[in-house]
């Protein structure tokens, strides 16, 4: 059975790169009928944030990425780690290092002067004398020497590391007894039954150390898939400006879970030329072996396109419920269907839908100067007055087509082009030149509000 995991550190919020890793891990587990586990790596007590932990769990809930089993918190597992550290000490696979800070500083300075890589020199590796007083020892593992460490990676292929070039006897427990990152990751993955690890390739350099720990403890080494990073359009590391922000910010920006997950699954993975995937299709088609070996490029336009697709294909009932989170209540609006049909064809996000909707429903208080200058010319007031009178005398105004017919009648009666009425009317209704179809706007706001807005615009711009 395939068991994957996502293991965020709650020293910051869940960002877009981490979410993609979680999604890949989730899809692979579900495809294989396995388990997707969640572990909170909160051993850094000084930097951990409960708020960040809560935000991570909220993001998973919003996106529907349900994890299996209980959440594992590393901060609650000190006794487990201490047991395995003691095991390595008892088996002479680890040892106490009494190197003082002064000794370490002197070693580093000598290595720098000789242009050598900064590495621990193993001076306490086989020490069996009297421990120096006043030094609280760290615990170091006996790393292999003069050998190759091979990482079998499902994305990158076999990656070979020469132990002498990258490894010293690294610390697995600090002087205060707290275990280090690479040690707890290896122990937890084994105890949780994780046998396939999908993570960012910034962790590739940690993998040899974790393999050393796996082998020292007699644990089976999982399969690794190291996923290349997400870059911005310039090929550089993604920044907050580019989109590397708290996942829940995407909810505030008005993106739906479906659009965001569809966007992420295509960052570094593909299935032919298919662009739109349901969750079932993602699970069916995804295989980490198909992940690209090169970095993927974050493209906001692609995210907006996907978001627009999902909005256009959402039911108006569903959209009305989602828009309530943007301070817009439409459930009882008698023209809800016309309104949402008009807006969802134009908006890229729920937030934009809400803003466009509010622009339609709110009577304009100000008018765009350039639009007024372009639209209000000689005769515009007479045309608008004629149209308002036409509306006033009509009792059959319900659908957009009814208002369109009224506009067409004025155009024919006054022998003018459609633009002569369309431009000043648009400014009167919306305060600007852009927006949905005029007939739709008038059907939404109704006859009385349309006449009121015409009168207001004439008064303000005559």
Q: Write out the binding residues.
A: 240
Please name the residue that has the structure tokens 């765009």: 368
Backbone conformation region of residue 379, classed left if phi is above 0, alpha if psi is from -120 to 50, else beta: left
Strand partners, 223: 196
DSSP 220-239: PPPEEEEEPPEE-TTSSB--
**Inter-residue contact 93 to 172 (CB < 8 Å):** no
Nearest by Cα to 256 from 359, 198, 326, 335: 326
CA angle 352, 357, 362 (to 5 degrees): 130
The dihedral built from the CA positions of residue 26, 29, 32 and 35, taken in this order, carries a sign that is negative
d(CA 444, CA 436): 11
- Whether 351 is catalytic is no
**Inter-residue contact 51 to 59 (CB < 8 Å):** no
Pick the catalytic residue from 83, 236, 240, 373: 240
d(CA 79, CA 83): 6
**Inter-residue contact 400 to 338 (CB < 8 Å):** yes
The dihedral built from the CA positions of residue 411, 416, 418 and 419, taken in this order, carries a sign that is negative
d(CA 291, CA 154): 9
Q: Give the distance, in angstroms, between the CA of residue 162 and the centroid of all CA atoms in the same chain.
A: 36
**Inter-residue contact 211 to 149 (CB < 8 Å):** yes
**Inter-residue contact 366 to 431 (CB < 8 Å):** yes
Eight-state DSSP code of residue 32: T
Query: What stretch of H or E contains 187?
Result: helix 181-191
Q: How far is CA 341 from CA 268, 402, 436, 444, in A?
A: 34, 17, 10, 11
Binding residues for ATP: 240
Q: Which residues are the active-site residues?
A: 240
């Amino acid at each position: 059975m395939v068991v994957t995991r996502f293991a965020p550190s709650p020293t910051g919020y869940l960002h877009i790169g981490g979410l993609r890793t979680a999604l890949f891990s989730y899809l692979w587990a579900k495809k294989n009928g396995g388990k997707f586990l969640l572990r909170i790596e909160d051993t850094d007590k000084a930097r951990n944030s409960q708020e960040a932990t809560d935000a991570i769990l909220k993001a998973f809930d919003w996106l529907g990425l349900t994890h299996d089993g209980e959440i594992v918190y590393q901060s609650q597992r000190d006794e487990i780690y201490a047991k395995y550290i003691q095991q390595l000490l008892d088996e002479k696979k680890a040892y106490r290092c009494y190197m003082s800070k002064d000794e370490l500083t002197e070693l580093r300075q000598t290595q720098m002067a000789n242009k050598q890589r900064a590495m621990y020199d193993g001076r306490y590796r086989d020490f069996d004398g009297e421990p120096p007083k006043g030094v609280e020892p760290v615990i170091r593992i006996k790393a292999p020497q003069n050998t190759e460490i091979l990482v079998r990676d499902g994305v990158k292929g076999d990656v070979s590391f020469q132990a002498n070039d990258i490894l010293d006897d690294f610390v697995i427990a600090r002087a205060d007894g707290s275990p280090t990152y690479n040690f707890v990751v290896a122990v937890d993955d084994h105890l949780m039954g994780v046998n396939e690890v999908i993570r960012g390739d910034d962790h590739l350099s940690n993998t040899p150390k974790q393999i050393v720990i796996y082998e020292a403890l007699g644990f089976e080494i999982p399969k690794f898939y190291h996923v290349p990073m997400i870059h911005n359009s310039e090929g550089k590391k993604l920044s907050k400006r580019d989109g590397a922000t708290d996942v829940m910010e995407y909810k505030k920006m008005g993106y739906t879970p479906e659009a965001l997950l569809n966007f992420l699954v295509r960052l570094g993975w593909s299935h032919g030329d298919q662009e739109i995937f349901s969750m079932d299709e993602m699970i069916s088609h995804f295989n980490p072996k198909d992940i690209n070996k090169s970095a993927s490029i974050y493209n906001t336009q692609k995210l907006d396109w996907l978001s627009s697709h999902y909005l256009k294909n959402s039911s108006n009932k569903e959209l009305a419920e989602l828009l309530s989170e943007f301070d817009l209540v439409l459930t009882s609006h008698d023209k809800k269907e016309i309104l949402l049909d008009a807006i969802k064809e134009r908006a890229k996000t729920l937030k934009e839908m809400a803003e466009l909707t509010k622009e339609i429903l709110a009577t304009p208080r100000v008018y765009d100067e350039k639009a007024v200058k372009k639209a209000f010319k000689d005769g515009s007031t007479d045309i608008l007055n004629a149209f308002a009178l036409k509306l006033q005398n009509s009792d059959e105004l319900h659908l957009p087509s009814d208002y369109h017919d009224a506009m067409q009648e004025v155009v024919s009666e006054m022998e003018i082009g459609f633009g002569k009425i369309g431009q000043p009317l648009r400014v009167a209704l919306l305060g600007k030149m852009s927006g949905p179809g005029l007939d739709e706007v008038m059907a939404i706001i109704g006859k009385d509000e349309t006449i009121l807005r015409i009168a207001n615009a004439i008064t303000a711009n005559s």
